[in-house]
Structure 1
Amino acid sequence: MLDNLPAHKSSAVEESAAKARAQVIWLPAYSPDFSPNENCWLKIKTLVRGQQPRTAPDLNEAVSAAIHAVSKEDIAAWFKHGGY
């Protein structure tokens, strides 16, 4: 599932998908409601901002903690919300 970011339309992406026997599903232009990763990034960014990191090590720690805070239940809910 890819949005219309130019990097996603490269031949390397298409070749990688073909090698993995994956079907690429293109999302409509600007469609955050259909893109589960939009909600994921929103949660991560919100958690990182809440930590107010001021140094590179603090930022790394905040990002790592935020990523680990994303649960399987979160992911399932985001896919369900997107209609998948």
Structure 2
Amino acid sequence: MTDATSTPALPDHLSSDPRSPHHNAAVFEHDIGIRFNGKERFDVQEYCVSEGWVKVPAGKTVDRKGQPLLIKLKGTVEAFYR
């Protein structure tokens, strides 16, 4: 486990896309885990704990700019440091 004083608090809404206003580079310096509906997910691109959703890639499909298409899944979301 990591020391709680050296890691920033996990935000309620976080995105791995640096273009997003919800991206926080300081949080990504540490290893983050997401548990969705009781199972750990490794493909989460964005999450919101209070609203209870995660965004994950929809297979290998990409948009016209080459970014993966994301689908929103609703359920119980828990974010934690590994």
- Normalised by the length of structure 2, the TM-score is 0.27
- Normalised by the length of structure 1, the TM-score is 0.26
Higher helix share: 1
Higher strand share: 2
